[in-house]
Amino acid sequence: MEFTYNAYQNLIGLLREKGYTFCNYHNYTQTGRSVILRHDIDMDIGKAVKMGELEARMGVSSTYFVLVTSNFYNIFSGRSQDMLCRLIALGHEVGLHFDEAKYDAAQDDLVQAMEREAVLLEHCLGREVTSVSMHRPSAATLDADYRIRGGRVVNSYGREFFHNHKYVSDSRRNWREDVLRIVESGAYDRLHVLTHPFWYDEEERSAKEELKWFCESRIDVCYGDMKDNVRDIEEFLRREEL
């Protein structure tokens, strides 16, 4: 499958054609044949909003997972908060993306850390957080079947969603299994599909092109933010000089 909005749209069309109901982590048991669309926001919330808008146009809602510990974005900035609220307004759910690398698994209680981060995200969104996904999970985390808030918060890497569902993902811009063939086969009643909106675009771009575009676009974002904070910035540095 290509990493374009068109290809993603076709995937949604195929799922619909094959009789899948678009569900979230809480309501999938209400239907015999379900698909949970999950998106991890690793670097760029703007790209997630683009995908969220596309899904909303197709009448589909999904779950977006956002980091509270990212070096790439700050969920409490006005800009990020507006985008996350936009995802919610479009009918999507926003859950916590948890990066265990920030913690020392030998010393820290990771479930407590998730619960603390969930509270932060709840402050940011002004609503309850009911699902968590892991960013680059270790083998131990994949195996742990964590119970978060006594099971009230869904762990998308829990046994139910990782083993009892057919799980397919485009991690590192690579579908390890052919998602279209899996949907086409109709062999699975419970599908769990992870995509990273970062890799998708109007036209097919290589990983290198996408990463390069992202780095270059950050110069504009950075300069724009400096402009808001340094009066008459042009006296020191003009955009063209970058």
Q: Provide, rounded to whole angstroms, the least separation between the CB of residue 223 and Zn ion.
A: 27
Binding of residue 40 to Zn ion (CB under 5 A): yes
Chain residue at closest Cβ approach to Zn ion: 135
CB under 5 A: which stretch of 44-52, 88-96, 118-126, 127-135 binds Zn ion? 127-135
CB of 141 to Zn ion, least distance (A): 12
Among 39-47, 137-145, 151-159, 164-172, the segment contacting Zn ion (CB under 5 A): 39-47
Three-state secondary structure along 174-239?
A: CCCCCHHHHHHHCCCCEEEEEECHHHCECCCCCHHHHHHHHHHHHHHHHHHHHHHHCCCHHHCCCH
Stretch that binds Zn ion, among 32-40, 49-57, 157-165, 183-191 (CB under 5 A): 32-40
Task: Name the minimum Å distance from CB 7 to Zn ion.
Answer: 21
Minimum CB distance to Zn ion smaller for 124 or for 132: 132
CA distance 100 to 39: 18
Residues 179-208 touching Zn ion, rule: CB under 5 A, are none
Contacts of 172 (CB under 8 A, 6+ apart): none
Tokens of 226: 């400096």
Q: Which two tokens stand for residue 169?
A: 């993902």
33: tokens are: 């044949």
Give min distance, CB of 242 to Zn ion, in A.
29
Stretch that binds Zn ion, among 75-83, 104-112, 124-132, 134-142 (CB under 5 A): 134-142
What phi, psi does 237 have (nearest 5°)?
-155, 125
From 39, 92, 135, 165, residue interacting with Zn ion (rule: CB under 5 A): 135
CB of residue 124 to Zn ion, shortest distance in Å: 18
Residue 195 CB, nearest approach to Zn ion (Å): 11
Number of Cβ atoms within 10 Å of the Cβ of 20: 24
DSSP state of 73: -
80, 88, 103, 218, 222 from 72: Cα distances, Å:
11, 21, 18, 10, 11
Binding segment toward Zn ion, per CB under 5 A, in 53-61, 132-140, 159-167, 169-177: 132-140
Nearest alpha carbon to residue 5 among 34, 41, 48: 48
Q: Is 44 in the site for Zn ion (CB under 5 A)?
A: no
Reduced to 3 states (helix: H, G, I; strand: E, B; else coil), residue 4 is strand
In this structure, the dihedral spanned by the alpha carbons of residues 7, 176, 205 and 72, taken in order and rounded to 10 degrees, is: 110
- Binding residue for Zn ion, selected from 34, 36, 42, 100, defined by CB under 5 A: 42
Q: Minimal distance in Å, beta carbon 196 to Zn ion?
A: 7
Residue ranges binding Zn ion (CB under 5 A): 40, 42, 135
